[in-house]
Amino acid sequence: MTELRIIPLSGWPEVRDGTDLAELVAQSHKVEAGDVVVLAHKVVSKAEGRVVRLDEIEPSARARELAGDEEDPRHVEAILRESVRIIRTRGPLVIAETTNGLVCASAGVDASNAPEAGTLVLLPLDPDDSARRVRDGIRERTGHTVAVVVSDSFGRPWRQGTTDVAIGVAGMAPLLDLRGVQDGSGYELRSTQIAVADELAGAAELVMGKAAGIPGAVVRGFAYSGEGTARDLVLPAERDLFR
């Protein structure tokens, strides 16, 4: 078993619209071929200008209804605009499907770690493409081929707490398919697929934290293979019990 190392990407300046994330990765850490670079979606979104100001949002009647007295209706309106389908609501809490097929709280819209008060950070428009562009940029600057994962915090049904998962992937297969493999007793696995990109995102979060100002990490020693995107992790529509 290869030893895994998780190395925080620290010492970054504040990321703003237009910041070159690949350059920051190359400058802040000596990446090696085969590394997995995990970046929190917040820095990706900021670099791509996916930040909105509350004072520029006019809430709809539906947003005011959901917000009630508990939430800023402009925040709820931003959530509704980022949603293609509302799964569940409870007061101002909205579980929604995004344009990328992700099902998550608030459609990924968040005020934490925003550039300034009165702003909200949205998810990247295409997290897989974001991961691909960062990966290409790292290769151009360092000559090394790495995999890139864009992560975000998700809750889990019937479980307390959140964990980071992959919402964007480039340079690796996000699922390890063990169907057809025999275990130690000779039993053939029939449905086992390991969400390795999610596991890498969760592992990286251990050194990133939520309030430590560390925007990413390098995971070294994981033997990934193949190609794919984070969309491969999304449950197909025919297996979605909420449709």
Query: DSSP letters of the chain?
Result: -PPPEEEEE--PPPP-TT--HHHHHHHHS---TT-EEEEEHHHHHHHTT-EEEGGG----HHHHHHHTTTS-HHHHHHHHHTEEEEEEEETTEEEEEETTS-EEEGGG-B-TT-SSTTEEEPPPS-HHHHHHHHHHHHHHHHS---EEEEEEEEEETTEEEEEEEEEEEESS-SSEE-TT-B-TTSPBPSS-EE-HHHHHHHHHHHHH-SSS---EEEEES----S---GGGGSPPGGG-TT-
CA distances from 126 to 6, 64, 133, 154 (A): 26, 29, 11, 18
Q: What is the pLDDT of residue 42?
A: 96
Residue 211 has pLDDT above 80, yes or no: no
Task: Give me the chain's average pLDDT, please.
Answer: 92
Angle between helices 127-142 and 21-28 (to 10 degrees): 50
Place of tokens 């994981």: 222
pTM metric for this prediction: 0.92
Task: Kindly report, residue by residue over 100-109, the tens digit of the pLDDT.
Answer: 889 999 999 9
The one-letter amino acid code at 9 reads L
Average pLDDT over residues 65-93: 94
Query: How far is the C-alpha of 10 from the C-alpha of 95, rounded, in Å?
Result: 32
Task: Kindly report, residue by residue over 142-198, the tens digit of the pLDDT.
Answer: 999 999 999 999 998 889 999 999 999 999 999 988 888 888 888 888 888 889 999
Q: What is the pLDDT of residue 238?
A: 60
